[in-house]
Amino acid sequence: MDTPLNVADFERLALSTLPVMVADYYRGGSGDEQTLRDNLSAWSRWHLRHRVLVDVDAADPSTTLQGAEVASPLVVAPTAFHGLAHADAERATALGAKQAGAAMCLSTLSNTPVEEVVAAAAPSPVWFQLYVYRDRGATRAIVERAQAAGCRGLLVTVDAAVLGTRERDVRNGFHLPEHLSLPNAAPDAGRMPARGGTSALARYVGEQLDASLTWDDLAWLQELAEIPVWIKGVVRADDADRAAAMGVAGIVVSNHGGRQLDGGIPTALALPEVVEAVAGRCPVWVDGGVRRGTHVLKAMALGASAVLVGRPVLWGLTVWGAAGVAAVLHTLQRELTEAMALCGAPTVADLTRDLVRPDGA
């Protein structure tokens, strides 16, 4: 293939090189993968209404996230196990994010310690995605490490009380190779179970993570953490209202990239009701199926203040390491800048609700 031009090109290249077990883990979803597909197609259900005769000579997607200046609203979503894509794992992802001037979220389940990732990304900001362990002492230790490392905030994932069954992983007997560990959760939960019949990740999550998590635990985390606490995985107005009333620092509209509840609402359709319920009390970010600059633009017009990308970053990491992550982010940033110019919206402040209309309205 010639030089990759867009996210789909990076995906094809990555899938042609990755072993099946890894390719399936990265690209797959739960159940029939309906939500996975719907996330992608739902952005097309919003149509753009461009403005004309606006000076867009210097269209500029830069913005600030929780006070940090970034090149665009594109953020690296937290995804587990970058060591399966590239030997430099999350260190390469962080370097790529830095090269693109982008913010990054690091998964609890990274193969690289949080301290090294924050150092590699600097001055780009890093948020830490938190899974809550049954062992609250272990959870507290992870929070303390993330904040001591300089993470800007915690994204507490709330859509994974139990792991959605990803049948590709069950069939492939998904497991981590011997040399990869989970250093953020070490020593007690620093290793995944060995290979054995079914998905080792499903066994790890069942044994280690807390399926009894409630709003009270969120309050406990807000008390415990010295950095801002966000929640990731909200798709409903009532939950968003409750979180905002509790004073969360921000909300991420997400269905985990179609990997949890299959049949769940695509995020492009859930975003408006969350934005409306929050009514400006905190920022709203969104992820799921974002593959083009126009998707980012639609999300921003619907009221998001940042947009996370999961799989596209993994494809870039697989293909060229740090340079591939930067290339994917630059590609999306370039597409976003072009879309802003063509919409007559030279700054992110110009990305307002009137730019989008639902299909059929």
Ligand X SMILES: Cc1cc2nc3c(=O)[nH]c(=O)nc-3n(C[C@H](O)[C@H](O)[C@H](O)COP(=O)(O)O)c2cc1C
Identify which of residues 59 and 132 has a Cβ nearer to ligand X in the complex.
132
Q: Which of 107, 5, 23, 41 is nearest to 289 (CA)?
A: 41
**322-343 helix and 89-99 helix, angle to the nearest 10 degrees:** 40
CA–CA gap between residue 88 and residue 175 (Å, rounded): 19
Residue with the CB atom nearest ligand X in the bound state: 310
Residue (183 or 344) nearer to ligand X, CB: 183
How far apart are CB 34 and ligand X at their closest, in Å? 14
Give the shortest CB-189-to-ligand X separation in angstroms.
13
- Cβ closest to ligand X, residue 157 vs residue 172: 157
In sequence order, what are the residues at sequence separation of 6 or more whose Cβ sits closer than 8 angstroms to the Cβ of residue 247?
222
What residues pair up with 346 in beta bridges, in sequence order?
Answer: none
Provide the minimum distance between the beta carbon of 42 and ligand X in the complex, in angstroms, as a whole number: 11
Sort strands 46-48 and 356-358 into parallel, antiparallel or unpaired. antiparallel
Other residues' Cβ atoms within 10 Å of the Cβ of residue 57: 7
Tokens matching residue 78: 């937290």
Kindly state the helix (H) or strand (E) to which residue 74 belongs, with its residue range.
Answer: strand 74-76
Binding site residues, ligand X, CB under 6 A: 25-26, 39, 77-80, 107, 109, 129, 157, 232, 254, 256-257, 259, 287-290, 309-311
**Identity of the residue, 38 or 88, whose beta carbon is nearer to ligand X in the bound complex:** 38
Q: Under 8 Å CB-to-CB from 50, ≥6 apart: which residues?
A: 342, 343, 344, 355
Provide, rounded to whole angstroms, the least separation between the CB of residue 62 and ligand X: 22
- Known catalytic residue at 175: no
Cβ at position 27, least distance to ligand X in Å: 7
Q: Do 223 and 145 form a contact (C-beta atoms < 8 A)?
A: no
The burial class, CB within 10 Å (0-12 / 13-18 / 19+), for 359 is exposed
Q: Which residue is listed with tokens 């940042």?
A: 306
Which one of the listed residues 82, 86, 256, 330 is annotated catalytic? 256
By C-beta, is 318 or 337 nearer to ligand X?
Answer: 318
Q: Which residues are catalytic?
A: 256
